[in-house]
Chains A and B, each alone.
Chain A
Amino acid sequence: MTTETVVSGAAGGLEAALPTTLFRFATAGSVDDGKSTLVGRLLHDSKAILADQLDAVARTSADRGFGGEKGGIDLALLTDGLRAEREQGITIDVAYRYFATDRRSFILADCPGHVQYTKNTVTGASTADAVVVLIDARKGVLEQTRRHLSVLQLLRVAHVIVAVNKIDLVDFSESVFRGIEADVQQVGRELGLGSDGISDLLVVPVSALDGDNVVERSERTPWYTGPALLEVLETLPAADELESHLESFRFPVQLVIRPQGALAPDAVAAGLDVEAYRDYRAYAGQITEGSVKVGDQVSVLTPGQDPRTTTVVGIDFAGASLEEAAAPQSVAIRLADEFDVARGDTIAAAGTVREASADLYAALCWLSPKPLREGQKVLVKHGTRTVQAMVRSVSGKLDLSTFKLEGASNLELNDIGHAQLRLAAPLPLENYLHHRRTGAFLVIDPLDGNTLAAGLVKDHPGDHEDERYSI
C-alpha cells in the first residue's frame, strides 16, 4: 500500500502556516448514515492518518473482505475505539480526534448516534463552534434529524452544517438534494435555527465513501456551487470571534494567588524582586466572556453580598503584565481595593450584571438513568461555585420531534425539560441565549457525585422572555 508522506502545512509551508487558530466541531448522525466513514474520510484526506494507523486499518479491512476482490480500505475503521466497540460494531462514547490544515487546527468530537444520543450530542455540542449533522440522501430528514437539530438550537451552536451523505447512491441527483435541503430549511424555520441572527444552517451534498465535497469540491455535483465541507469548517468564524466583542467581561475566580513569601524558586533565581512580591495578591481564572483592560471598573459578585466596585490595576500572566485580555485567556487579576475575594466569586464589568438570584428557571438536558423528581435535592455547579439546590417543580418536557412542550412531572434519561430550582445561595445567573458560558450549569447528584444534567438558564417568568428561547 502506498502512503502519502507529508501532513499538509508541514515542513516547507510551516513558517507561513503559523500561528493557526483552533476550531472545535462535533459530528452527529443517525444509525448507518455513514458518519464513521465521513470522519475517517476527513482525517484521511486531510492527511491526519499516519502510515502505521493506515496499515492496521488496511489489514483489518482485508481480513473482513472489505471492497471485495478489488480491496480497499474501510475508512470507518479509522474511528474504531474500544475493544467492546469493535466486537459489537457500535460506538459507545464521544471520541475526540485531531487534524490540522494550513489555516486551522481542528478538534473533532465524534458523537455516536446509537445509544444515549442526546447525552452524546449535548456533550459534543456544548464546546463546539460548529456541528455537522449527517443525513442519508436515500432517507432524507428523519425524526432523529429533527431531534438533533432541536438539541443544537437549544444549545445555541453557532453553525449547523447538514451533510447530505451517500449522494452517490442517488446518482448525484440534484432534485433529491434540493428536496432534502428544503426539508432541512423548513425544520430550521420551525426551530428558529439559521434565522435567529445567532446561528446559521448550511446544507452540503457529500459522498463520504468516495470523498465528494468532503475535502475537495466534486465534479460529480456540478449543480452544487457551494464550498466543500472542509472549506466550510476552515472559514466559519469560531464562536469566540462572534461573541467576545459583544459580551461584557465575566471572570469566575478559581483561586487566589497569594504566595506570602513562598515564591517560586526558579522565578527568584531568574531575578524576581522578592520584596515587591511580598504582599502579592491576584485572582486567578479564565475569562469566560468579553475582555478587560487595566483601569477598567469592575464589580466583585459574592453570593449574599451587594456587588463591590473597584478598579483593575494589573493583569498578570506568568511573569508578563498585560494591558488587556479577552476570553478565553487564563490570567490573574489584581484589584485596587483589598476586598475579601474568594473562589466562587465572579469579577464582572461594573454595571452589567443583574441582581443575583436564588430562583433558577432552566431547561435541563437529563443525562442520567436516575430520573429527576420534584422535591429532589441536588447540587448546582455554576462557574466556579457549587451550591445546594432543591427541585421545586418540573413544568414540562420537550417533544423533540414536534418541538412542543408537554406536561411532565419528572425527567428521564435523554429528556429535555423545563424546571424551577431553589438555590441555597444566590448566583449571578444569566440567560443562556445570550451567555453560553455564564448561562450554563451542571446538576450533580450529591450522593455519588455523578453529573445528572446539563442546565441552561432561562429568564424568570415575568422578565422579558425572549420568544426564541421559549422553544
Chain B
Amino acid sequence: MSTYLSEETQVTDAAVSTRLSSLDTLESEAIHIIREVVAEFEKPALLFSGGKDSVVMLHLATKAFWPGKVPFPVLHVDTGHNFPEVIEFRDRTVERLGLKLVVGSVQEFIDRGELAERADGTRNPLQTVPLLDAIQQNKFDAVFGGGRRDEDKARAKERILSLRDEFGQWDPRNQRPELWNLYNGRHTVGQHVRAFPISNWTELDIWRYIERENIELPGLYYAHEREVFARDGMWRAVGEVSQPRPDEEVITKTVRYRTVGDMSCTGAVESNAFTVSDVVVEVAASTLTERGATRADDRISEAAMEDRKKDGYF
C-alpha cells in the first residue's frame, strides 16, 4: 500500500460509472474469501514462503482488515534448502506486519529420522509431512494458500475452499460444488480446509498487481548476475545444497527466478527483466509455463502435482 489516508476524503476513479477492471474484480473476490474464512473458522493461518503468490496473499490480507492487524499467523514449511535472501525477506515481512510466524522444519524431521532424503535431493515433496504436523500441532482449521488454477491441470480442478480429511488428503472425485459466491467451509473434527483466494488469478495478473500495488518481493525475482550450471534443461544456482557435478560447467549469467521454491529443484531463467514492469512484459510474452520452465519437481510425471496434492501438499 503506498498511502494511508486518515481524515481527508479521497475520491477514487474505481467504480460505479465504469466496470471494475479485471484486477479490481479479482482483488475484491480474494478479499471477500479471506474475510469469509476469518469469520467462519476458529483458527486460520496463511502459508507464507516469501514466494510471490504468498506475498500477494499477505498483501490482500492487510487490505482486507485495514486499519486492523492481519488476524492470523503465518506458517512456513522450511525445507532447509531455501534461498537465504528469501528467509531474510520472510523474517523482515513478518516483523513489519507484527505477525506470528510458525515454522515447520523438514530438516528437523530428517534429523529425527521421520523423513528420508530422496535420491534426487529434492525436498519439495518432503514438505507435506511437516505441513500436516504443523496444522495438527497448532490446531489450524483453515490454511490459506497462494495456489492458482492456471498453474497446473490438477489445480485447475481445485475448489476455492477445499476440504481435507484427517490425513490431509485431497479427494478430487468427491468435491463439494461451489455455487455463486457462497462458500461452504463446514468441517468435522480432524478435518481442515485449504483456502485459495487467488485461485482465479494468472501469473500475469499476479505481476500486474505487484506492479500496481508497488509490492516488495525478494530480489531474486528480478534479473541479477549469478553463478549457475545447466541441469535438466534449467539453470541451477550454485549453493550449499546445489553443487555442480564435475561435468557441469559453472558460468555467470544474468538470470531471474519465476518461482521461488527449494534451491535443490528450482531453476532460474535467463532474463534482462530488472524491474517489475520489465517482468510484466516478459511474462506476457513468455512461451513457457512457470512450472514447466523452472520446477524439476513438476517434470517427474504428467501427474506430479496431482499425486502430491492427494497426499496433502499445498
Contact = CB atoms under 8 A, between A and B. Distances in A.
Nearest to A80: B153
A280 B6 CA distance: 11
Nearest to B282: A11
Interface in A241-274: 241, 254-255, 257-259, 262-267, 269-273
Interface string A99-113: 010001101000000
Interface of B: 1, 3-12, 14-16, 19-29, 31-32, 35-36, 38-39, 62-70, 96-98, 149-150, 153-154, 156-157, 172-173, 175-182, 184, 186-188, 199-200, 202, 204-205, 208, 280-281, 284-289, 292-293, 302-303, 306-307
Interface in A415-471: 436-437, 440-442, 444, 448-451, 454
A53 B38 contact: no
A16 interface: no
A176 to B, nearest CB: 34
A454 B177 contact: yes
A437 B181 contact: yes
Contacts of B97: 264-266
A449 B188 contact: yes
Given A286-B181, A328-B29, A451-B179, A272 B4 contact: yes
Interface residues of A, number: 100
B9 A321 contact: yes
A281 to B, nearest CB: 11
A66 interface: no
B176 A450 contact: yes
A86 B97 CA distance: 45
A96 B9 contact: no
A344 B67 CA distance: 22
A320 interface: yes
Most buried by B among A266, A325, A343: A266
Interface string A315-341: 011111111111011101000000000
Given A51-B288, A122-B179, A444-B184, A264 B68 contact: yes
Nearest to B99: A265
Nearest to B173: A92
B32 A286 contact: yes
Nearest to A119: B177
B180 A437 contact: yes
Interface stretch (A17-25, A181-189, A219-227, A354-362): A17-25
Interface in A31-69: 50-53, 56
Contacts of A319: 1, 3-5, 66-67
Given A50-B288, A94-B157, A266-B62, A14 B281 contact: yes
B231 to A, nearest CB: 17
Nearest to B7: A276
Contacts of B200: 96, 98, 107
A326 B13 CA distance: 12
Interface stretch (A2-10, A133-141, A166-174): A2-10
A82 B15 contact: no
Contacts of B67: 257, 259, 263-264, 267, 272, 277, 280, 319
A410 B23 CA distance: 44
Nearest to A344: B39
28 contacts: A9-B284, A50-B288, A52-B288, A81-B153, A83-B306, A105-B22, A122-B177, A123-B177, A240-B19, A241-B19, A257-B65, A257-B67, A259-B69, A265-B98, A273-B6, A318-B1, A318-B62, A319-B5, A319-B66, A321-B8, A325-B16, A343-B39, A381-B182, A437-B181, A444-B186, A450-B184, A450-B186, A454-B180
A259 B21 CA distance: 30
Given A82-B153, A276-B6, 15 more contacts: A18-B21, A19-B22, A81-B157, A82-B172, A83-B302, A96-B199, A105-B22, A126-B180, A263-B69, A273-B6, A329-B20, A437-B180, A442-B179, A451-B177, A454-B177
Contacts of B173: 84, 92-93
Nearest to A269: B96
A265 B16 contact: no
A257 B288 CA distance: 42
Contacts of B39: 254-255, 343, 384
B287 A3 contact: yes
Nearest to B208: A18
A14 to B, nearest CB: 6
Contact of B156 (A50, A81, A291, A320): A81
A328 B19 CA distance: 10
A98 B204 CA distance: 11
A329 B28 CA distance: 5
The 6 tightest CB contacts between A and B, nearest first, are A449-B186, A19-B21, A52-B292, A10-B284, A259-B68, A318-B63
Contacts of A18: 21, 208
A289 B26 CA distance: 17
Contact of B180 (A56, A127, A272): A127
A322 B96 CA distance: 27
A328 B157 contact: no
